[in-house]
Amino acid sequence: MSRRPRRNHAAVFKAKVVLAALKGEKTLSELAEQFDIHANQITQWKSQLLEGAAVVFGEAKEQESSEVDKTKLHAKIGELSLERDLFRKRALESGSPERKEMIDSESNLSIYKQSKLLKISRSSA
C-alpha cells in the first residue's frame, strides 16, 4: 500500500469541514469520507478552532494594545538612545576631572556603567 503525499489544506476548507462537524448533522466518519480526510484531522481542526475562539471575542483587543505598547516602547528606546548619545558627546568633550565628577554613587545606574558611558576607568571614579 503506497502512502498518499502530504496535503496542505486551505484555511477556508478547514473552516468548512469544522463547521460541518460542529453542526453535528453527520458523523465524523461520514465527514471524513465526504471531504476525503482522516477523522482524526477533523477532530484536531475542531479543537484548534475551539481553543482559538476566545480571540474572536476579546483577546484580540489585548493583542492590539500590546502592539501599540511595543510601538511606544520602541519610540522611547529611540528617544533614550538619542539622549544618551547627546550626554555622552557633551561629556566626552569635557576633561577627565569633570567626567569623574559626573559619577553619582547613589544613582540607579551602576558605577561600572556610568564610567563606561563616560569613558573613564572605574577605579578612578
pLDDT computed for residue 38 by the predictor: 92
List, for residues 17-75, the tens digit of each pLDDT value. Answer: 999 998 988 888 999 999 999 999 999 989 888 888 777 776 655 566 667 788 888 88
| pLDDT number for residue 85 | 81
More confident residue, 125 or 80: 80
pLDDT recorded at residue 30 = 92
Given this model, what pLDDT does residue 66 score? 66
Report the pLDDT value the prediction gives residue 114, as an integer from 0 to 100: 82
Using one digit for the tens of pLDDT, what is the confidence trace for 70-118? Answer: 888 888 898 888 878 877 777 778 888 888 888 888 888 888 888 888 8
Distances in Å between the alpha carbon of 4 and those of 14, 21, 32, 37, 43?
19, 24, 15, 11, 20
All structural domains of the chain with their residue ranges? 11-93, 94-125
pLDDT on residue 62: 59
Q: What does the alpha-carbon distance between residue 16 and residue 90 come to, in Å, rounded to a whole number?
A: 65
